Amino acid sequence: MIKLFLQNKHSIAYKLLKIVFTIYFSLTFVITLSHMAIEYKATKSRIQHELFSLEKSFKEAITTAMWELNNEQLYAIAKGVSKLPVVKGIDIVNAKDELQMSLGKTLVASNKSDLFFHQFEIHREFNNKVVFLGWVRFYSDSSVIIDQIKLGFFLIALNALIKSVLLTVLFLWAFRKYLFTPLNSLTQQVEKVNLDNVFDVHIDTVDENNELKLLENGFNHMLKHIEHDRNKLDERHKIQMAELNQLVIKRTVKLDDAINELNKIAFSDPLTQIKNRRSFFEVGHTILSVAKRERKAVSLLMMDIDFFKKINDSYGHHIGDEVLIDFTRKIACQLRESDLFARIGGEEFAIILSNTDSAGAQQLAEKICKIISLSTFNSGEVSLSYTVSIGVAQWRDEDTKISALLNRADQALYQAKNNGRNKVQTA
């Protein structure tokens, strides 16, 4: 029976059991790891204290050996310290910051991140002066910690495993008795119900007065009303179908309006309300095709507001947005209806000028530069001036795509910026 519910991954019992076990095992795993981490840190702290205690035990002997330049005695001391269980290495450095002696796994020989150490300085009083002889560093690593706590780790893991097994058995027993068995009986009775004939159907499988009993009573009550409601539903269905037909007609009209609005949004920049990059390429391609067929000149202006990032950083992006709108309005009133004006990205704008050669395009670009540089943007307490750099390019017969014209204009724009900005450069 339990297997039947577990095989149905969409059943409430399966999901509930999965949630319970997931929460329990997750908490058990986290608590066990936390316990291990606390044990690890406590052991490491104890070992560090033992390293500190070694200073008191060997400092005087090391001081004497370093003062007397007795390397044999110093080596014997270092070798003896390095054999201690908590010590993995020792460094002795003289006052000239030169390595005098190194034994075991030390930072001088290895850069392993699991090493930790205790360091102390060696001084000797001579002629009422304190002479600095050098410093000593005792090393230990995580392997020492693990050796001391691996039994504790094993007991912690074993304890968690035993608890998990016992609680799993208890969970399954409780679920089987109070959920799986009664829910299975209720499910079997519900599956036998024939909705075409519900007059004499009555479900009675749950003995205890619990949530499942309430569900059973509710289901029986629902069966009594099904037939009565079925006739009403038929009548309402006819009325609703008529209303639905009228609603479909109205919604179709609204849908057409929405599609038109979406098309407008898809081809317009939401901030400046001029053409966006997608519209620029689609409409621009048509303009260039007509111009090529009629052998008329077409030019393109590539514009970029100078130091626009500085405006955003200094005044905020909302002021930057207002500057873009202000720039768009000032440019739009200088253009013809046949010109294609679009925002193609960030502070970059482009204009396709129909029936206009590069000389005419450069004249318009210089006019735009002058208008922008001489004007002032005002918004509340913010008042600022800005400039624009423009690259100009004319359509060539060998150009096969609008991107070729745009690239030349973009290169010219790059030269204009290199020439000091607030400039016009023709490709």
Active site residue 398: no
User: How far apart are the C-alpha atoms of 417 and 410, rounded to whole Å?
Assistant: 11
State the catalytic residue, choosing from 55, 121, 261, 347.
347
Residue pair 348/308 in contact (Cβ under 8 Å)? The answer is: no
Catalytic residue positions, numbered: 347
